[in-house]
Amino acid sequence: MLTFVARRLLTAAITILVVVFLAGVLIHLVPGDPITAMLAQSGNASAADIARLTQQYGLDRPVWQQALIYVGNVLQGDLGTTIRGNEPVAPLLLGRLPNTIALAVAGLGTALALGIPMGVIAAVNRGRAADFAVMLIAILGVSIPGFWMGLTFIQVFSLHLGWFPVAGTSARNIVLPALTLGIVHSALVARMTRSALIDILNEDYIRTARARGLREREVLMVHAMRPAMISIVTVVGLVFAHLLGGQVITENVFSWNGIGRLAIQAMLQRDYPLVQGFIVIFATSIVLVTTALDLLYGLLDPRVRRR
Amino acid sequence: MTVLPRLTLSALLLGASALTALPLAAETTLTVARSVDADGLDPQKVSTTQSSQVTDLIFDTLVSLDATGAPHPALAESWTISEDNLTYSFTIRQGLTCHDGAAFGPEDVVFTFTRAVAPETMNPRLSQYGPIESVTAEGNVVTVKMTEPYGPFLSYLGSFALPMLCKGSVAADGAFAPIGTGPFSLVEWVRNDHITLKANDAYQGFGQLVENKGRPHIDTLKLVVIPEAVARMAALRSGEVDLAEPSLEEAAMLSGEPGFKIYSADLSGQQVMAAFTWKLPPFDNPEVRRAIGMALDRDAYAAIAYEGLVSPTTCPAAPGLIGVDQEKCAEWGTKYDPDAARAIMEGLGYTPQNPLKIKLSVHALPGFDQMHQMMQQHLAEIGVEAELETREVAAFFDQMSQENQRTEGMPVLWTMGYSGVDSDYMTVMWQQPGFVNMGVGAELDTMLADQRMLTGEARVAKLQEVQKYLLENTYAVPLVSPGWNWLWASTDKIEGFKTGFVASLIFNDVKKID
């Protein structure tokens, strides 16, 4: 088990290191110069100022050199300073991470609260009207663009009913973005729950349980749901990882002060250090979540440890 | 207890209860929704309009510009300029207080200039300070010496780009906290979420565009960030915010709706224009550029694409800035005349059947999209087939830097905007290499350099010479003004809101009425 854990952690560390280097290189492939973009908005984009700041920010160095310097700095815990406003990147991103995690957890909770019952209903009623109805709702949920759903929620629940504020980052504000994210991701949870349950409900031991006269609810909740949870946990991990970095649009629509919003603004401004910092933190989160899942599987299933 | 003391006691109790029941003067909070936040609150490290809109509320300037752009005393109660235009002596006003309670004085002014031009500050607006040689204080007078004359200096000193800091802004360890003498002081900044400012009780204002020279009427000003236009308008309509940046479509809709007001930044100093990759044939031919200029209908763009919320403009620098005379520019530049334009193009062999193929390279902004579609139609009418290429801002400027250097390939007509408090920004744009390499040549470079050496009427004349050159040679086709971040909407319960130069926000006169 110890070797398995060490191998997984080493793989995670190497992956993060490669991501840090690639973040340093790939950002320069995006067209657009950060200094020109910045100064163009100041009414002062003189060639002399552009040249001076380009040199001061080290952007005149070869890309590989900039990337290596970046890796070195990150290894020392320094994510650099922003080009816009000249602020340290790490506190800027880490200060918003709790907001992003809070929304991700709330969105995931909503997705599970909606998706699991939907999947169970669909699996139990496989091929019947209830199955089609639930799956149709799930498909609609995943097909409706998140930003459209979010704006509609604002119009209905904030503007017309006045139940929730339109914008901001607080406990009251989290309801609508969590609902938006939850509905969008509940489709995946519902489908995964449905297919896992259908497989398990056809197993011999389920038939045996039924033959023993157990009630259907007991068969479902005790004998079928527990093994199905392994597949559902996989989806939960992936959805959570996706929510950590993929809720940019929802954060924007609801003015939720998370790292996604900061990242999209940084990308438009070509604020390289901030974008790189976001990639590093996002990638690290994904790697940590998937590593934790790997370790969890290893704990649950010895066959995984031996691979 | 006799009757009298009982009555007295009752009266006292009644009085006391009445006093407690009296409503205390309610704190007035004005909530303003903006699309993006400030990049920072250090005015010597930020460059965006949205950043300076905030720092402008915290810091004041040495001079104050009136609606014509002329400088008036502000933190400096007077100034003199040496005959050789190299030395400026500012007499600093006494009795001013910084937000931290310290007295504001000449040493703060010296500190501001010294820090602004220090290389380690990495000031993105360094060149606007001009060729400063030294800044010294003696008594109440601060002397700024230049290595060469710098005509726009006073204009820039009146802009939100060059405000005066209090020394307390920078701690011993170098940490920055915005402490100025402005109408508001900082309470809290949660980046990308909100900025809370409170009224400066000791404020003494000298702004030429402001009526209330004392403490602002509102107590608290909260600037919240709501990126989505639809959500901003929902917040305005629900009363969650008092003032918001509307989209162009919303502004047009609200302008006819009771209960709302629309504000346009008429003094923005912003200018939208079309320019050419003039090194690429056939745009190296002034006649072709002239024909294209004559095909573009700026009146229609202002009225239709911008919903009548902007004005057509004829000068290469924005209305209201020094040396800008719309009538003279109208004489020098192209007028809308599609028939004459078509005749020129036909003479050169281009017809709707055999069109000149060009790219119309643009970036997206409210109103710009509709204008570009109209431009395509107008160009098609004179035998020019324009392929529209839209990029986001950062990529667009990068692309234009390359396009403006090319000497072969498909010619490009492009649109852009620029803003400032002084027509000197034409120097930044057009003096070689110029903004995104759009510089023109030695003759214009000399004129642009000369205007910086001059002051007063002589400078006005030189700035007009520059504009005449640009228009007669059709390097630029001015279109409309203003053009971005220039619209605001409020409920009709807000009075006294104004915008100043470069879309600065003025809250000194704002009152919330019931």
The helix, strand and coil proportions of chain B, stated in percent and rounded to the nearest 5, come to 35, 25, 45
Prediction pTM value: 0.85
Residue A138 or B76, more confident: B76
Whether B40 and A84 lie within 8 Å, measured CB to CB: yes
Q: How far is B270 from chain A (nearest CA, A)?
A: 9
Element (DSSP H or E) covering residue B66: none
- From chain A, the residues in CB contact with B33 under 8 A are 167
Q: What is the rounded distance in angstroms from the CA atom of residue B254 to the CA atom of residue B256?
A: 5
- From chain A, the residues in CB contact with B122 under 8 A are 53, 56-57, 86
- Reported as a single tens digit per residue, the pLDDT across B190-218 is 988 999 999 999 999 999 999 999 999 99
Chain B residue at shortest CA distance from A261: B192
pLDDT of B44 higher than 80: yes
**Residue B408: exposed, middle, or buried by beta-carbon count in 10 A (0-12, 13-18, 19+)?**
exposed
Residue A302 confidence (pLDDT): 65
Task: Compute CA A136 distance to the chain's CA centroid, rounded to the nearest angstrom.
Answer: 25
Whether A167 and B224 lie within 8 Å, measured CB to CB: yes
- From chain B, the residues in CB contact with A49 under 8 A are 124-127
Q: What is the rounded distance in angstroms from the CA atom of residue A265 to the CA atom of residue A249?
A: 11
CB proximity A36 to B under 8 Å: yes
CB proximity A262 to B under 8 Å: yes
Average pLDDT over residues B243-259: 90
Residue B259 near residue B491 (C-beta atoms within 8 A)? yes
Q: What is the rounded distance in angstroms from the CA atom of residue A30 to the CA atom of residue A28?
A: 5
Task: Give a three-class secondary structure readout of B242-310.
Answer: CEECCCHHHHHHHCCCCCEEEEECCCCCEEEEEEECCCCCCCCCHHHHHHHHHHCCHHHHHHHHCCCCC
pLDDT of B20 higher than 60: no
Whether A159 and B238 lie within 8 Å, measured CB to CB: yes
Q: Per-residue confidence at B514, pLDDT binned at 50, 70, 90?
A: confident
Average pLDDT over residues B161-174: 95
Which among B128, B231, B433 has CB closest to A166?
B231
User: What CA–CA distances, in Å, run from B267 to B31, B99, B146, B504?
Assistant: 23, 29, 29, 9
Residue A146 confidence (pLDDT): 86
Average pLDDT over residues B325-338: 97
pLDDT 10s per residue in chain A (307 long)? Answer: 778 888 888 888 898 888 888 888 888 888 878 888 888 766 667 788 888 888 888 888 898 888 889 889 988 989 998 988 888 999 999 999 899 999 999 999 999 999 999 999 999 998 999 999 998 988 888 888 888 999 999 999 999 999 999 998 888 899 999 999 999 899 889 998 999 899 888 888 888 888 888 888 888 887 888 888 878 888 888 888 888 876 888 999 999 999 888 888 888 888 889 999 998 888 888 888 888 877 877 776 666 666 5
CB proximity A277 to B under 8 Å: no
CA angle A259, B176, A76 (to 5 degrees): 55
Whether A85 and B49 lie within 8 Å, measured CB to CB: no
Residue A303 confidence (pLDDT): 64
pLDDT of B34 higher than 60: yes
Q: How far is B50 from chain A (nearest CA, A)?
A: 10
pLDDT of B4 higher than 60: no
Residue A173 or B10, more confident: A173
Whether B418 and A33 lie within 8 Å, measured CB to CB: no
Residue B234 confidence (pLDDT): 94
- From chain A, the residues in CB contact with B127 under 8 A are 44, 46, 48-49
Whether A32 and B394 lie within 8 Å, measured CB to CB: yes
ipTM for the assembly: 0.80
- In chain A, the largest separation of any two C-alpha atoms, in whole Å, equals 85
Residue A255 confidence (pLDDT): 92
Residue B22 confidence (pLDDT): 46
- Reported as a single tens digit per residue, the pLDDT across B310-319 is 999 999 999 9
CA atoms within 13 A on the CB side of B366: 21
Q: What is the rounded distance in angstroms from the CA atom of residue A253 to the CA atom of residue A151?
A: 7
Average pLDDT over residues B283-301: 97
Structure tokens at A44: 């002062």
Residue A24 confidence (pLDDT): 80
Q: How far is A44 from chain B (nearest CA, A)?
A: 6
Residue A246 confidence (pLDDT): 63
Q: Which residues does residue B311 pair with via DSSP β-bridges, in sequence order?
A: B481
Task: Give the type of residue at B473.
Answer: N
Q: Which of these ranges, B249-253, B276-280, B443-447, has the smallest mean pLDDT?
A: B249-253
CA angle B500, B504, B507 (to 5 degrees): 85
CB proximity A82 to B under 8 Å: yes
- From chain A, the residues in CB contact with B452 under 8 A are none
Q: How far is B429 from chain A (nearest CA, A)?
A: 7
Residue A9 confidence (pLDDT): 86
- From chain A, the residues in CB contact with B193 under 8 A are 168-169, 255, 257
Residue B264 confidence (pLDDT): 87
Q: Per-residue confidence at B21, pLDDT binned at 50, 70, 90?
A: very low
- Reported as a single tens digit per residue, the pLDDT across B391-423 is 988 889 889 999 999 999 999 999 998 888 999
Which among B39, B128, B194 has CB closest to A84?
B39
Domains and CATH numbers, chain B: 6-14+26-245+487-512 (3.40.190.10), 271-481 (3.10.105.10)
CB proximity A37 to B under 8 Å: yes
Q: Which residues does residue B73 pair with via DSSP β-bridges, in sequence order?
A: B63
pLDDT of B463 higher than 90: yes
DSSP state of B503: G
Average pLDDT over residues B92-114: 97
